[in-house]
Amino acid sequence: MELSLAHPAIKAFLCGSLSGTCSTLLFQPLDLVKTRLQTLPGSGRVGMVTVLQSVVRTERLLGLWRGVSPSFVRTIPGVGIYFSTFYSLKQHFFQDRDPRALEAVVLGAGARAVAGVVMLPVTVIKTRFECGRYRYSSVLGALRCVCRTEGPAALFSGLVATLLRDVPFSGLYVMFYSQSKASLPTEVSASPCAPVANFSCAVLAGVLVSLITQPADVVKTHVQVCPELRTPAAVTLVFKEHGLQGFFRGAVPRALRRTMMAAMAWTVYEQLMAQFGLKA
């Protein structure tokens, strides 16, 4: 079947997957640095540059891309699932108009909840690859190892913290992004500069929402690296070891990565959907 004849939800899936591929490869080092910062022992202040230098020194330059395989396995179908769910929900509930602010929150949150739950096992493996404490040979081997030694339930560790991070992130992101886009003058949104304007709106939304959801990301990382921890215990551990500032460890690389990835993904997604003659 020709792509032009495919169902719109399938086109949205393909556009989302393509939009996530390049951004995953480009920004993987920031994700690795974020995970290392969050799992460092002790309460000393360690910066992003220090961790970057340490990884390059001990694991060479390619060490910055450790975990890129599970990132691809997670992001390519995950972003596709997110955008196809988002498109389907929007077409079902808001076919004749754009969603309002709170409706945009629910729309983005619902799409992310579906994608987050489906891709959680690979998210667990990705986090373990990046932290440097586990030496898995492959994504499939890691999945088998976890199931054999810890049981299948370990692949869903951090579910609560992941949903507390991703659902508000996507809900608020869609709201900030759609509202800032709607506020653009018509001559800008209809001009050749529209992709740049959309990218700027996406960056602004990403920075705001990354900071709001940072504490949940720290807790999620601890639970997935140490599966014997439960979410309340991880919150207590982070606070005891690092205080309130511990919940914002890795905030800079995460904000950079999530902001740029989301901005690139939404910009590419909307441009590809326009090529298919579909409204994103």
Tens of pLDDT, residues 210-223: 999 999 999 999 99
> What does the pLDDT read at residue 13?
84
* Residues 105, 7: Cα–Cα separation, whole Å: 25
By percentage, how much of the chain surpasses pLDDT 90? 38
Q: Is the pLDDT of residue 3 over 60?
A: no
> What does the pLDDT read at residue 1?
42
Query: What's the rounded mean pLDDT across residues 156-182?
Result: 89
Query: Of the ranges 40-44, 167-171, 268-272, which one carries the lowest mean pLDDT score?
Result: 40-44
Q: Is the pLDDT of residue 43 over 80?
A: no
Q: Is the pLDDT of residue 151 over 50?
A: yes
For residue 60, give Cα distances in angstroms to 52, 66, 198, 242: 10, 11, 36, 29
* Residues 124, 223: Cα–Cα separation, whole Å: 9
Helix 68-93 crosses helix 8-39 at what angle (to 10 degrees)? 130
Query: What's the rounded mean pLDDT across residues 244-269?
Result: 87
Q: What is the mean pLDDT of the chain?
A: 87
89 CB neighbour count, 10 Å cutoff: 17
* Residues 178, 100: Cα–Cα separation, whole Å: 9
144 CB neighbour count, 10 Å cutoff: 12
Q: Is the pLDDT of residue 14 over 90?
A: no
Phi/psi zone of residue 202: left (φ > 0), alpha (ψ -120 to 50 degrees), beta?
Answer: alpha
* Residues 29, 127: Cα–Cα separation, whole Å: 13
**Residue 96 DSSP class:** S
Q: Is the pLDDT of residue 48 over 80?
A: yes
> What does the pLDDT read at residue 4?
52
Q: In the chain, where are the structural domains located?
A: 8-276
Q: Is there a contact between 216 and 164 (Cβ–Cβ < 8 Å)?
A: yes
Q: Is there a contact between 61 and 125 (Cβ–Cβ < 8 Å)?
A: no
Query: What's the rounded mean pLDDT across residues 105-123?
Result: 92
> What does the pLDDT read at residue 279?
65
Q: How is domain 8-276 classified at the CATH fold level?
A: Mitochondrial carrier fold (1.50.40)
Query: What radius of gyration, in Å, describes the C-alpha atoms of the chain?
Result: 19
Query: What's the rounded mean pLDDT across residues 56-85?
Result: 89
For residue 210, give Cα distances in angstroms to 22, 76, 135, 144, 256: 20, 21, 29, 32, 9
> What does the pLDDT read at residue 112?
92
Higher-confidence position of 246 and 186:
246
**Maximum mean pLDDT: which of 11-20, 42-51, 135-144:** 135-144
> What does the pLDDT read at residue 44?
67
Three-class DSSP category at 45 = coil
* Residues 161, 163: Cα–Cα separation, whole Å: 5
> What does the pLDDT read at residue 91?
87
Q: Is the pLDDT of residue 97 over 90?
A: no
> What does the pLDDT read at residue 73?
87
* Residues 219, 214: Cα–Cα separation, whole Å: 9
Contact partners, residue 85, CB within 8 Å, separation at least 6: 110, 111, 114, 115
